Amino acid sequence: MVAKALDFGLTVPHDCELGVCMMCLARLVSGKVDQSEGMLSDDAIVYPLLCASYPRSDCHIRIIPEEELLSLQLATTND
């Protein structure tokens, strides 16, 4: 999804493009994605890694602000 967004000229935070750095974590507002190639479980589908996800329907996503992303990353590492 990152590559397609960049093709359309959208700004999407990303770094490793492997699903490891979690910079491309976004909020799935509506739609369905397949992130079976990503590092997160299907339970985390509400926060797909855009570099490792493929749309399964029309999707509405929200890019997560850096401050919120940091707190989500910290919460994930503490689990």
CATH of the domain at 62: 3.10.20.30
Q: How confident is the model at residue 79 (pLDDT cuts 50, 70, 90)?
A: low
C-alpha–C-alpha distance, residues 63 and 79, integer Å: 23
C-alpha–C-alpha distance, residues 40 and 42, integer Å: 7
Domain range for 72 is: 2-78
- What is the three-class DSSP state of 55? strand
Could you tell me the sign of the dihedral formed by the alpha carbons of 29, 47, 76, 23, in that order?
negative
- Number of structural domains (the chain) is 1
Report the predicted TM-score, pTM, of the whole model to 2 decimal places. 0.72
pLDDT surpasses 90 at 5: no
Q: Which residues, in sequence order, are CB contacts of 76 under 8 Å at separation 6+?
A: 22
